[in-house]
Chains A and B, each alone.
Chain A
Amino acid sequence: MARGQAGATGRRKANGVDPKSGAGKDELLRYYRDMLLIRRFEERAGQLYGMGLIGGFCHLYIGQEAIAVGVQSVKQPGDQIITGYREHGHMLAAGMDPKEVMAELTGRASGVSKGKGGSMHMFSTESDFYGGHGIVGAQVSLGTGLALADKYRDNGKVSFTYFGDGAANQGQVYESFNMAEIWRLPVVYIIENNQYAMGTSIERSSSETHLYKRGASFRIPGEEVDGMDVLAVRAATAKAAEHARSGNGPYILEMKTYRYRGHSMSDPAKYRTREEVDQIRKTRDPIDHVEELLEKQGWADEPTLKAIDAEVKKIVAEAAEFARTSPEPDPSELYTDVYTEVPA
């Protein structure tokens, strides 16, 4: 990947604190903490997968942390979030309990879906999180439907609908773009372009690789954002959300990002070089970036960061222990939640 491909939006301007975003010390420390939690959580999930405690498919969010955390910083209560199956980070950013998320990964009764959903299918109406969907692109129509409900209720809420560069080639994405624009639905489409749709690079899969332009023929505005810079994500999302919330219809944000791990745990990622991965990790890591910002401002004394590291480690260790030791669902759960009881 060429250097600088991930956008000139914020990174180079961001000496210290982006003056536009005006992020203060507490905010930056919180972003640092939230991103670190996602990273450590995902590393531990990878480890539990290796131990056989997590089964099936497991798609890690490592490298993309700035997006979920940056968007969450803009989200207002009641705004909905929906995404695909690489959703652990979005759930942690949304404030869902790491224990319950990890216990879902291990298929336990105390998991957020009672152990019936697994890595790809988790939900929390309390946190406005609508999944966690396993069919590539399905969440785009569903998220557009969440926005239809917002408009129907005239409640001033916005649907943040995430999808990847792979899903961006699904037909229903464009069916949804069309409806969102003709009905002026309050939805922000967040494309997490991590450059690879499983093993197929964006150049090989997409005739127009600038995905933010994909709304052009539907008259939906779009822009490219440095998805490795939490402040750039925050600023762009704030603008897009305002656009949608004010009745102007949908907005597309293409977050240029990168995943460090394979598509799923069983992907050796041979379609890219180690140098490419190392280069990104060394030069564009979203967590290192916030750390640098904190240091430049003199806000990040060693004890403070160490305390955050320790807190995060403790949370993740506890989540892993909880997920490992919680019981599997009771066999009687097999037949529950197939249908909602009809009220008498």
Chain B
Amino acid sequence: MTDVLMPALSPTMEEGTLAKWHVKKGDQVRAGDVIAEIETDKATMEVEAVDEGTVEDILVPEGTEAVKVNTPIARLSGEGGMAAPTPRPAAPQAASQPAPAKAEAGGGRGQGEASAGDPEKKPPEAARPKPEGEGPAAVVPPQPLTDPELPAGTNLIKQTVRDALRDAMAEEMRRDPDVFLMGEEVAQYQGAYKVSRDLLQEFGERRVIDTPITEYGFAGVGVGAAMAGLKPIVEFMTFNFALQAIDHIVNSAAKTLYMSGGQIKTSIVFRGPNGAAARVAAQHSQDFAAWYGSVPGLKVIAPYDAADAKGLLKAAIRDPNPVVFLENEMLYGHEFDVPEGIDWVLPIGKAKIRREGSGVTLVAYSRMVGFCLEAAEQLAAEGIEAEVIDLRTIRPMDHQTVIESVKKTNRLVTVEEGWGPMGVGAEIAARVVAEAFDYLDAPPARVHQEDVPLPYAANLEALSLPSVEKIVKAARAVSYK
């Protein structure tokens, strides 16, 4: 004996009208036969039999309105042994699940598809290893990360950021045959910004692959190759063009490990210049740190100097997770000290204090670190000792280093090239307020691009972007000077 239940025909349906019976008492039905029509407020749907048997009884007559989902509407006499699940409306939710999961399964159905990823839904308390945000235990290192010590006698050489990035790729490609580089103009042209210079010559076209101008497609091809176990480095000529590929970075690369219950890993690096260059106007001048930094499953790195560029790119290539590696075109030609002759790999997720100070904390990443260091010089002349923190990694963010600094300086200025609203600075300020509120002597200040698309005209461009002057001004303001 099998009860045929009033089915839910959409995520939101709770009741419906039994519009029509296609069978009557005594009829034989087979699996797949249409037995009834159900009307909801949106549509009329057919109900098919799942089991075969004889219609023993029609329990809800044709024309009945407001029949609740899961109400038995007919009874089949079957062969027995394989009866359909008995009508138990609350079966999935009734078991001893925690309340939030129940709300998701039950309440969510009433709200339709939007409920599935509702970020406002609080996770169960038991599952929250940390009191605020930044939950995944896996990305919060159990021990404080420290930079590797330079072995005594290590020689430092002057190297551009461009060459440091190149060396990082070359060293990792020598080390691991699964690492390869793909992107526009990376091979024969030697890189649109010459970051991949000589790689084709050393590794050949199998491992240094020129792609057509087709960001969405080649990002997906890279992620697919990563799913198969290779370790692609996907170069975007700039991250502005990666907007066409952001679906694969977010939906395919960042989420698949989770959606597959840990089965499918994507060890892949998406890299290229990010942020404003010079006079290339709005479509070629965007900072995406906050965009990618908001996505669980991604790691996001934005180095400043050559040693960090090298050490962190090597770490990114070795990392088993998808990494977005944000470079800056304006820094490619800058020279910095880089350790020579050692396997220089830096920890992802560790900020670096670039200058110590007790008066105000300046937090920045990428090119803005240089601006902050300059601002700190000016401020020092005015008697304000600024501490400059280079985040280096946007996600997972080293909030602890920032918070410890603010506890010392009691003042915070964040600096980013991107727009302010929902930005990196907003995130830092929120965390500092949440965890070091009592230490603050002034509201945190944010320096960022003005809230407009980046203009072309030289004067407007300068007005729009962060500058040393704007940083100095903000630092004075939080210092009440």
A associates with B: yes
In the complex, residue of chain B having the shortest beta-carbon distance to the beta carbon of A120: B259
Please indicate which of the listed interface residues B45, B109, B214, B259 has the most CB atoms of chain A within 10 Å of its own CB.
B259
Contacts of A146 in B (CB 8 A): 224-225, 227-228
Q: How far is the CA of A224 from the CA of B291 in the complex (A)?
A: 43
Contacts of B211 in A (CB 8 A): 179
- When the two chains form their complex, are residues A331 and B138 in contact, meaning their CB atoms are under 8 A apart? no
Q: Is residue A25 within 8 Å, beta carbon to beta carbon, of the partner chain?
A: no
Q: How far is the CA of A52 from the CA of B299 in the complex (A)?
A: 37
Contact of B85 among A82, A320, A336 (CB under 8 A): A320
Q: Is residue A208 within 8 Å, beta carbon to beta carbon, of the partner chain?
A: no
- When the two chains form their complex, are residues B227 and A145 in contact, meaning their CB atoms are under 8 A apart? yes
Q: Which of B124-132, B184-192, B408-416 contacts A (4 or more CB under 8 A)?
A: B124-132
CB-CB under 8 A for A331 and B101, given A43-B32, A141-B219, A338-B138? yes
Which B96-147 residues have C-beta < 8 A from chain A?
Answer: 97-98, 100-101, 105, 108-109, 113, 116, 123-124, 126-129, 135-139
In the complex, residue of chain A having the shortest beta-carbon distance to the beta carbon of B250: A135
- When the two chains form their complex, are residues A40 and B31 in contact, meaning their CB atoms are under 8 A apart? yes
Which B227-271 residues have C-beta < 8 A from chain A?
Answer: 227-230, 247-248, 251-252, 256-265, 267
In the complex, residue of chain A having the shortest beta-carbon distance to the beta carbon of B90: A52
CB-CB under 8 A for A141 and B224, given A50-B5, A55-B105, A341-B138? yes
CB distance from A128 to the nearest CB of B (A): 10
- When the two chains form their complex, are residues A340 and B84 in contact, meaning their CB atoms are under 8 A apart? no
CB distance from B188 to the nearest CB of A (A): 14
Contacts of A179 in B (CB 8 A): 211-212, 214, 217-218, 221
Q: Which of A243-251, A265-273, A294-302 contacts B (4 or more CB under 8 A)?
A: A265-273
- When the two chains form their complex, are residues B262 and A336 in contact, meaning their CB atoms are under 8 A apart? yes
- When the two chains form their complex, are residues B228 and A338 in contact, meaning their CB atoms are under 8 A apart? no
Q: How far is the CA of A316 from the CA of B10 in the complex (A)?
A: 23
Contacts of B32 in A (CB 8 A): 39, 43, 62, 260
Q: Is residue A134 within 8 Å, beta carbon to beta carbon, of the partner chain?
A: yes
CB-CB under 8 A for A130 and B264, given A52-B70, A144-B221, A148-B225? yes
- When the two chains form their complex, are residues A43 and B31 in contact, meaning their CB atoms are under 8 A apart? yes
CB-CB under 8 A for A55 and B220, given A268-B43, A331-B124, A332-B126? no
Which A33-53 residues have C-beta < 8 A from chain B?
Answer: 39-40, 43-44, 46-53
CB-CB under 8 A for A145 and B226, given A51-B7, A339-B138? yes
Task: Sort chain A's interface into a size bin.
Answer: 35 or more
Contacts of A333 in B (CB 8 A): 127
CB-CB under 8 A for A332 and B127, given A337-B261, A338-B257, A340-B257? yes
Contacts of A328 in B (CB 8 A): 92, 95, 97, 101, 105
- When the two chains form their complex, are residues A135 and B247 in contact, meaning their CB atoms are under 8 A apart? yes
- When the two chains form their complex, are residues B263 and A125 in contact, meaning their CB atoms are under 8 A apart? yes
- When the two chains form their complex, are residues A55 and B127 in contact, meaning their CB atoms are under 8 A apart? no
- When the two chains form their complex, are residues B223 and A145 in contact, meaning their CB atoms are under 8 A apart? yes
Contact of A317 among B82, B223, B296 (CB under 8 A): B82
CB-CB under 8 A for A50 and B7, given A56-B116, A143-B224? yes
Contacts of B218 in A (CB 8 A): 141, 175, 179
Q: Is residue B460 within 8 Å, beta carbon to beta carbon, of the partner chain?
A: no
CB-CB under 8 A for A335 and B7, given A131-B260, A144-B224? no
Which A169-193 residues have C-beta < 8 A from chain B?
Answer: 171-172, 175-176, 178-179, 182-183
Q: Is residue B58 within 8 Å, beta carbon to beta carbon, of the partner chain?
A: no
Q: Is residue A116 within 8 Å, beta carbon to beta carbon, of the partner chain?
A: yes
Q: Which of A11-19, A69-77, A107-115, A233-241 contacts B (4 or more CB under 8 A)?
A: A107-115
- When the two chains form their complex, are residues B261 and A113 in contact, meaning their CB atoms are under 8 A apart? yes
Q: How far is the CA of A305 from the CA of B265 in the complex (A)?
A: 42
Q: Is residue A327 within 8 Å, beta carbon to beta carbon, of the partner chain?
A: yes
Contacts of B481 in A (CB 8 A): none
- When the two chains form their complex, are residues A335 and B101 in contact, meaning their CB atoms are under 8 A apart? no
Contacts of A172 in B (CB 8 A): 216-217, 220
Q: Is residue B9 within 8 Å, beta carbon to beta carbon, of the partner chain?
A: yes
Q: How far is the CA of A122 from the CA of B7 in the complex (A)?
A: 25
Contacts of A150 in B (CB 8 A): 228
Q: Is residue B64 within 8 Å, beta carbon to beta carbon, of the partner chain?
A: no
CB distance from A51 to the nearest CB of B (A): 6
Q: Is residue A142 within 8 Å, beta carbon to beta carbon, of the partner chain?
A: yes
Q: Is residue A314 within 8 Å, beta carbon to beta carbon, of the partner chain?
A: yes
Q: Is residue B91 within 8 Å, beta carbon to beta carbon, of the partner chain?
A: yes
CB distance from B86 to the nearest CB of A (A): 10
Contacts of B370 in A (CB 8 A): none
Q: How far is the CA of A220 from the CA of B252 in the complex (A)?
A: 26
In the complex, residue of chain A having the shortest beta-carbon distance to the beta carbon of B31: A43
- When the two chains form their complex, are residues B221 and A46 in contact, meaning their CB atoms are under 8 A apart? no
Which A267-300 residues have C-beta < 8 A from chain B?
Answer: 268, 270
Q: How far is the CA of A268 from the CA of B189 in the complex (A)?
A: 54
- When the two chains form their complex, are residues A138 and B248 in contact, meaning their CB atoms are under 8 A apart? yes
Contacts of B108 in A (CB 8 A): 55
Q: Is residue A124 within 8 Å, beta carbon to beta carbon, of the partner chain?
A: yes
CB distance from A56 to the nearest CB of B (A): 6
CB distance from A68 to the nearest CB of B (A): 18
- When the two chains form their complex, are residues A339 and B259 in contact, meaning their CB atoms are under 8 A apart? no
- When the two chains form their complex, are residues B227 and A141 in contact, meaning their CB atoms are under 8 A apart? no
Contact of B224 among A142, A314, A335 (CB under 8 A): A142
In the complex, residue of chain A having the shortest beta-carbon distance to the beta carbon of B219: A141
Contacts of A342 in B (CB 8 A): 318-321, 348
Contacts of B135 in A (CB 8 A): 334-335
- When the two chains form their complex, are residues B50 and A44 in contact, meaning their CB atoms are under 8 A apart? yes
Q: How far is the CA of A313 from the CA of B81 in the complex (A)?
A: 10
Contact of B217 among A176, A327, A343 (CB under 8 A): A176
Contacts of A144 in B (CB 8 A): 217, 220-221, 224
Contacts of B257 in A (CB 8 A): 337-340
Contact of A335 among B98, B105, B138, B256 (CB under 8 A): B138
- When the two chains form their complex, are residues A51 and B252 in contact, meaning their CB atoms are under 8 A apart? no
Residues 173-217 of A, flagged 1 when their CB comes within 8 A of B and 0 if not, give 001101100110000000000000000000000000000000000
Q: Is residue B8 within 8 Å, beta carbon to beta carbon, of the partner chain?
A: yes
CB distance from B455 to the nearest CB of A (A): 30
Known contacts A148-B230, A260-B32, A317-B82; can you find 12 more A-B pairs with CB under 8 A? A43-B50, A50-B5, A113-B263, A146-B225, A146-B228, A172-B220, A175-B214, A175-B216, A176-B221, A320-B85, A335-B138, A340-B138
Q: Residues of A with Cβ closer than 8 Å to B?
A: 39-40, 43-44, 46-53, 55-57, 62, 80, 82, 106-107, 111-117, 121-125, 130-135, 138, 140-150, 152, 171-172, 175-176, 178-179, 182-183, 260, 262, 265-266, 268, 270, 313-314, 316-317, 320-321, 324, 327-329, 331-343
A-B contact pairs, 19 of them (CB 8 A): A50-B5, A52-B70, A82-B224, A141-B217, A141-B220, A143-B224, A144-B224, A145-B227, A148-B224, A179-B218, A268-B44, A324-B91, A324-B92, A335-B136, A336-B138, A338-B138, A339-B257, A339-B299, A342-B319
User: 5 closest pairs, A vs B, by CB?
Assistant: A145-B224, A141-B220, A50-B7, A175-B217, A114-B261
